[in-house]
Amino acid sequence: MATQQTRSLARFMMAPSVVLLFVWMIVPLALTLWFSFQQYNPLNPIRDGFVGFSNYALFYSNPAFLQSILNTLILVVSVLLITVIGGILLALLIDQPMWGQGIVRILVISPFFVMPPVAALVWKNMIMHPQYGVFADIARFFGMQPIDWFGQHPLTAIIIIVAWQWLPFATLILLTALQSLDGEQKEAAEMDGAGFISRFIYLTLPHMSRAITVVILIQTIFLLSVYAEILVTTNGGPGYASTNLPFLVYQKALLEFKIGQASAGGVIAVILANIVAFFAMRAVGKNLDK
């Protein structure tokens, strides 16, 4: 039990880092808010000044805006579904005793070590390319027309790439959870005559629920800001088919130099991310309190 004194001492010693972290967050946020109310285009400096909410109105009325929100959500949900379900299956698989288990495990987690732009380039040019890609070769081998992934199914292509990158993370966390399951419990269930499926549903899955929660929360944060994969492969197109919110903000800021509108987009993104985080915490965060 901490005494009054040790608690004050702890607060006093923690204060600098708390202040630093606070300033670290508050300054960029305040600047973003400030710029979101300014007409600021460095390429056209004559028309500067306070413009009220018109940046927000312009950002909202942009035809790409609603599409980008929809794309952001589709991207997050699809990748979460693939990585969580795939992660559970892979974790179960590589938890089985087998020859060369160490090597298999390293191979499974290796995509996580590849940097996003590099991964995207490899997928774009060597795997999904409609002329030279492995997929195209396979399609031609079976006498089928190769799929033009980035032209016809751009968002699906990006979901596949991002899921490929995050699957190892999910697998790793879920595998650790799986390994912490008590062997005696499993044996007891087996002796009671529980089959593989009922053991999985009533024993393994509840045991993994906390790990699944962690995977969903961490991935949601990162998936809301997917950017490099889009920049490298489709540049948000064709049309707005693969533009998500971070990419739209990038387009406004660094291609069009509309700093005001980009800041407004940034503020909207922060608000939306908080809404998503709130619901995610409500829905799955309860698991963490147990």
Partner 1 sequence: MKLRTLTLGLLSASALAFAAHAESITIATVNNGDMVRMQKLTDDFTKANPDIQLNWVTLEENVLRERVTTDIATKGGQYDVMTIGTYEVPIWAKQSWLLPLDKLGDDYDAKDIIPAIAGGLSVDGKLYAAPFYGESSFVMYRKDLMEKAGLKMPDAPTWDFIKQAADKMTDRANGVNGVCLRGKAGWGENMAFLTAMSNSFGARWFDENWKPQFDQPEWKKTLQFYVDLMKADGPEGASSNGFNENLALFQQGKCGMWIDATVAASFVSDPKNSTVADKVGYALAPDNGLGKRGNWLWAWSLAIPAGTKKADAAEKFVSWATSKHYAELVASKEGWANVPPGTRSSLYANAEYQKAAPFAKMTLDSINAADPTHPTVKPVPYVGVQFVAIPEFQGLGTTVGQLFSAALAGQSSVDDALKQAQDAATAAMTEGGYIK
Beta carbon nearer to partner 1, 38 or 235:
235
CA separation for the pair 70, 166 (Å, rounded): 21
Nearest alpha-carbon partner for 233 in 137, 145, 164: 164
Q: Does 265 bind partner 1 (CB under 8 A)?
A: no
Stretch that binds partner 1, among 102-110, 113-121, 246-254, 267-275 (CB under 8 A): 246-254
d(CA 7, CA 12): 9
Query: Min. distance of Cβ 70 from partner 1 in angstroms?
Result: 15
Indicate the residue among 68 and 171 with the shorter CB distance to partner 1.
Answer: 68
Q: Does position 49 bind partner 1 by CB under 8 A?
A: no
Note whether 215 and 174 are within 8 A (CB).
yes
- Least Å distance, CB 96 to partner 1, is 40
The yes or no reply on residue 238 touching partner 1 (CB under 8 A) is yes
Helices (H), the chain: 4-36, 54-61, 63-95, 101-109, 116-122, 134-141, 149-152, 154-179, 183-191, 196-199, 205-223, 228-233, 245-250, 259-284, 286-289
**Phi, psi dihedrals of residue 49, rounded to the nearest 5°:** 135, 175
Which residue's CB is nearer to partner 1, number 49 or number 183? 49
Residue closer to partner 1 by CB (options 241, 269) is 241
Residue with tokens 């590849």: 114
Q: Would you say 20 or 254 has its CB closer to partner 1?
A: 254
Under the rule (CB under 8 A), what is the footprint of partner 1? 41-45, 47, 58, 61, 63, 124, 129-131, 136, 146, 148-152, 233-241, 251-252, 254-258
